[in-house]
A and B are shown apart, each in its own frame.
Chain A
Amino acid sequence: MSTVLTHRQTVRRPPRYRLRRNLRETAALAFAVVLLIWTLAPIYNMVMVSLDSKGDVFSNDIWPAHPSLDSFWIVLSEGYWYLEYFWHQFGNSIYIGAVTTFLTLLIGSLASFSIGRLRLKNGWIVSNAALLTYVIPASFLAIPFYSIMLKYGLANNLWSVIFAEVTFATPYAIFIFHQYAVSIPMELDEAARIDGASPIQIYLRIYLPLMAPALVAVGTYALLLAWNEYLYQFMLLSSTRSMTVPVALAQFLNSDEAPWNYMMATAIIYAIPPVAVYYAFRRRMTAGLTMGGVKG
């Protein structure tokens, strides 16, 4: 492209060309405005309702008459009976996210190390089995999963949700780790082996440090998956104290007189961490985006 462009740029353009280019530029700008409105309308609505001091969604205004940050303060200080356990629930979300991330990285990296580096016999069966989990819609498994959690005695326990999230995040971890590990030369392992290193030493001292970028990408993915998931958290956690924020948020939906501004403020506060994490690790996450995304 560069050669063609520079060549063209040196040629003086006829006015008609310039007119056409300006028209195109204007059309692109107009399109960008439409796209912005489309993208931001629901987010704008969220912000607008959260800033409304009366907490009314039934209003004719396009901007609240008396914007205030009170509702955010109410949420942060747990000043409404629905939000009594907000920080506790937020803590539950963080706990589930952190443990899910850790276990996904651990189990996924161990399995991919075994398949890829230790050349586990018939290891492809493991990776194809993982593919199966990856493509089964998680929501179709929810009902039997719930029955089984009752049998395991894990109902209303944060660990039941953690197991569910790890189950659905690990296949992706195995794919990405396996693919990334191909770029790490086998000679490193062999050299370490000649020096007398055991497989566990190779795993800890060679494999994991060299896999750091993949660990970051998959870790981010697992964290976001756990943060975004609703269904399993809703089915498996029933008491107010063991609930996570999305489950508490959805409860607002079932009550007749919901303070919408508190709900939207909670929604915004809950949405900030994943957005921040995503933008912080954006470049790392694009590796393997195609197979990843965020599974619904």
Chain B
Amino acid sequence: MSAGSVVPAATGPFALRRLRLPGPGHLHGSDLVWSIVFVVPYAALFTAFVVYPIGYGLWMGSDPALYAELLSDPRYVRAAVNTVLFVGLAVNVEMVLALLLSGFFMRRRRWIKALLVIYILPWTLPAVPAYLSFHWMLAAYPQGLPNNLLEALFGIEGPFWFNRGWLALGCDITASVWKWMPLWTLIFLGGRMAIPQDLYDAASIDGASGYRRFVHITVPLLTNLYVISTLIAAIWTFGDYAPVLFVSGGTPAFESEVISTLGFHYALDFANPPLGVAAGLTALPILLPILILLTRALSTMEVQL
């Protein structure tokens, strides 16, 4: 992996406006027509499949009675708490571990490179097969791989993982971390490789230990990348229904649902699509600040690089 290619990519969307090349103020007549013709397919796609569904969704969820109904439903309250736990824990755990692991993968050993190739595997697997494997590993009480291992190694009888809401949610979080941590490790690895080695050499000469080099060089230089990655991961994890849907399935009795999966249950199983949309919309007060923070973090990143 070439280091340079990864980090600058993070400037993506916000580089667009600045990097527009200075050109003549007015387009020639035929160029203007062409430039519009070329953008029409995307504009049509955007209107038909983004603007319209968003507008339609807002309209579906516009009745205030829906929100009263949501708040009076203990399943929803539980799911809202679960969503915060799910996003907060999964994102922070995978980010911190990925940051530390990226340091481990910086070691210049051949077997480390081979290990990295294997370690990426969960991220490359399609979500449904991977989470189904988690499900059957954990649901096969009193057997299943983790319980069999616990029995074989320590002689403990493993729990029934989906018997309690918090335990089931913990399994979903674990599965989500398992799936996404490799991606963020790769990204932090790219970020670390972009840090000039001279800085570390200079610090070593001044007698800085490994820990102090990490705190005083790696951390400040990776802060922006870390913040941006965390915000993006938070947005994705908010919308990620798959771990909950396939690993615990919301068992027992809706105790481990999150907002996105509960929304589907409202829409499909209880035949109440507006309520499902309203459940999704209640995530907006948390999603919007994250979006704004992300926008700001992206614009400062550009300056730093």
Give chain A's interface residues, CB within 8 Å of chain B.
1, 3-4, 28, 31-32, 35-36, 38-46, 48-49, 57-62, 106-108, 110-111, 113-116, 118-121, 123-124, 126-148, 152, 163-164, 166-167, 170, 174-176, 178-179, 182, 186, 198-200, 203, 227-228, 230-231, 235, 246, 249-250, 252-253, 260, 263-264, 267-268, 270-271, 274-275, 278-279, 282-283, 286-296
| Minimal Cβ-Cβ distance residue in B for A114 | B38
B95 within 8 A of A: no
Give Cα A49 to B145, complex, Å.
10
Are the C-beta atoms of A1 and B197 separated by less than 8 Å? Answer: yes
Are the C-beta atoms of A140 and B239 separated by less than 8 Å? Answer: yes
Give Cα A31 to B119, complex, Å.
13
Residues of B with C-beta under 8 A to A252: 132
For the complex formed, measure the closest distance between the CB of B31 and the CB atoms of chain A, giving whole angstroms: 6
Give Cα A114 to B5, complex, Å.
24
What are 12 residue pairs bridging A and B, where the CB atoms are less than 8 Å apart in the complex? A110-B39, A114-B35, A114-B38, A118-B34, A119-B20, A120-B39, A123-B35, A147-B56, A263-B132, A286-B186, A287-B6, A291-B12
Are the C-beta atoms of B38 and A289 separated by less than 8 Å? Answer: no
For the complex formed, measure the closest distance between the CB of A138 and the CB atoms of chain B, giving whole angstroms: 6
Are the C-beta atoms of A28 and B107 separated by less than 8 Å? Answer: yes
Are the C-beta atoms of A119 and B239 separated by less than 8 Å? Answer: no
Are the C-beta atoms of B35 and A62 separated by less than 8 Å? Answer: no
Give Cα A273 to B23, complex, Å.
44
Pick from B1, B132, B263: contact of A286, CB below 8 A: B1
Are the C-beta atoms of B34 and A271 separated by less than 8 Å? Answer: no
Are the C-beta atoms of B27 and A118 separated by less than 8 Å? Answer: yes
Give Cα A292 to B6, complex, Å.
10
Are the C-beta atoms of B267 and A143 separated by less than 8 Å? Answer: yes
B220 within 8 A of A: no
Residues of A with C-beta under 8 A to B143: 57-60
| Minimal Cβ-Cβ distance residue in B for A116 | B20
B215 within 8 A of A: no
Residues of B with C-beta under 8 A to A178: 15-16, 19
Are the C-beta atoms of B125 and A275 separated by less than 8 Å? Answer: yes
Give Cα A114 to B38, complex, Å.
6
Pick from B35, B60, B118, B232: contact of A118, CB below 8 A: B35
Residues of A with C-beta under 8 A to B166: none
How many chain B residues touch A (CB < 8 A): the figure is 116
The 5 A-B pairs of least Cβ separation, nearest first, read: A137-B239, A267-B129, A114-B38, A144-B57, A118-B35
Are the C-beta atoms of A283 and B260 separated by less than 8 Å? Answer: no
Are the C-beta atoms of A107 and B41 separated by less than 8 Å? Answer: yes
Instruction: Known contacts A35-B115, A167-B45; decide if A290 and B16 are in contact (CB<8 Å).
Output: no
Are the C-beta atoms of A106 and B41 separated by less than 8 Å? Answer: yes
For the complex formed, measure the closest distance between the CB of A124 and the CB atoms of chain B, giving whole angstroms: 4
- Residue-wise, chain B 170-198 has the 8 Å CB interface mask toward A (1 for contact) of 00000100100011001100100000010
Pick from B57, B111, B146: contact of A32, CB below 8 A: B111
Residues of A with C-beta under 8 A to B129: 46, 246, 249, 264, 267-268, 270-271
| Minimal Cβ-Cβ distance residue in A for B109 | A28
Instruction: Known contacts A43-B133, A287-B5; decide if A141 and B38 are in contact (CB<8 Å).
Output: no
Instruction: Known contacts A135-B294, A249-B128, A271-B125; decide if A144 and B56 are in contact (CB<8 Å).
Output: yes
Give Cα A58 to B148, complex, Å.
10
B89 within 8 A of A: no
Are the C-beta atoms of B126 and A227 separated by less than 8 Å? Answer: yes
Are the C-beta atoms of A296 and B42 separated by less than 8 Å? Answer: no
Residues of B with C-beta under 8 A to A123: 20, 35, 39
Are the C-beta atoms of A137 and B260 separated by less than 8 Å? Answer: yes
Residues of A with C-beta under 8 A to B20: 115-116, 119, 123-124
Residues of B with C-beta under 8 A to A290: 6-7, 9-10, 12, 187, 190, 225, 228-229
Are the C-beta atoms of A286 and B13 separated by less than 8 Å? Answer: no
Pick from B9, B60, B121: contact of A288, CB below 8 A: B9
Instruction: Known contacts A127-B13, A253-B135, A290-B6; decide if A62 and B145 are in contact (CB<8 Å).
Output: yes
| Minimal Cβ-Cβ distance residue in A for B275 | A143
Residues of A with C-beta under 8 A to B128: 230, 246, 249-250, 267, 270
Residues of B with C-beta under 8 A to A121: 27, 32, 35
Pick from B134, B139, B228, B287: contact of A42, CB below 8 A: B134
